[in-house]
Amino acid sequence: MKLTVITPDQPVFEGDVTSVTVPGTAGAFEVLENHAPIVSTLDKGTVIIRTAKGEENVRITGGVVEVIHNNVTVLAEGITEK
C-alpha cells in the first residue's frame, strides 16, 4: 500500500507501508491494505506509519485523508514534529 503525507509547504513522507493510523475527527482509525475507499477529516494528533522497517510518527495539526485503491493520501494542514 502506498502512503503520501504532504503539507502546503513540503512533502513529509512517501513510500510503501503495511498500515497507517490517522487521527480522524470521529476518532483514530487504522488503514490496512484493501481498505474501502474513504475520505475523512483529521484532527490534531499523530499519524502512525508502519513499514517493513519499523514505525514512524508524524504529529499533524489537522487535515484530510483519502483512501482509494491501496493509495492513502494525507493532506495535513501542518506538522508539529516528525
pLDDT at position 82 is: 53
Split into its structural domains, the chain has a count of: 1
Hey, what's the cell of 37? 475507499
Hey, what's the cell of 27? 476518532
Q: Please provide the average confidence, as pLDDT, over all residues in the chain.
A: 96
Pairing outcome for strands 71-76 and 2-6:
parallel
Residue 81's pLDDT band (cuts 50, 70, 90): low
pLDDT at position 62 is: 97
pLDDT digits (tens, 9 = 90+) for 37-48: 999 999 999 999
Upper half-sphere CA count for residue 12 (Cβ side, 13 Å): 25
* Domain containing residue 9: 2-81
- Rg, Å, the chain Cα set: 11
pTM, to two decimals: 0.94
Shortest CA distance to 5 belongs to which of 56, 72, 50? Answer: 72
CATH number for the domain that contains residue 53: 2.60.15.10
